[in-house]
Amino acid sequence: MTIKIGDRIPDATLTTMTPEGPKPVSTAELFGGKTVALFAVPGAFTPTCSARHLPGYKDNRADLAAKGVDTVACVAVNDAFVMGAWAEASQVSGSDDIVMLADGNGDFTRKLGLSLDATGFGMGERSQRYSMLVKDGVVDQLNVEQGGEFKVSSAEHLLAQL
């Protein structure tokens, strides 16, 4: 079953890359007591994700903060090393930027009900492209893209919902 507006984010552990190496982060820690703009991509370094999705959130980070967003986070079914390299290559690493979250085994993505079968592209199980606004662990907005599209999960669309 797919998560929906009003649902609580499930308990899961994601991983973020730090200068000391991979660090686990719980969803309770990430979402508790904060307003978080979370967006998911099918894969780091993939064309739409790198050219449009991540840059849109980077460019709109200050506007999201001005509207009350405490944290902007990107999640993908990739490992922490890949997410760390993508953050560095995209120049979004740092505390004021975007938190890059690895869902290496796809556990969080499956709990949300937002998995994508990308085996036809040689990518295995991935995440659907989506954005959500989470307030203190509860989904306030949810925007899931239709296959192959990039519209409702954009930073601009989420910003317009605030």
Q: Domain residue spans in the chain?
A: 13-161
Residue 154 pLDDT greater than 60, yes or no: yes
Residue 120 pLDDT greater than 90, yes or no: no
Q: Which tokens belong to 38?
A: 């979370």
Residue 131 pLDDT greater than 80, yes or no: yes
Residue 113 pLDDT greater than 60, yes or no: yes
CATH number of the domain at 13-161, please?
A: 3.40.30.10
**What pTM does this model have?**
0.92
What is the average pLDDT score of the chain? 91
Residue 121 pLDDT greater than 90, yes or no: no
- Tell me if 44 sits within 8 A of 86, measured CB to CB: yes
pLDDT value of position 118: 66
Catalytic residue, candidates 25, 37, 49, 102: 49
Q: Is 74 a catalytic residue?
A: no
pLDDT value of position 107: 96
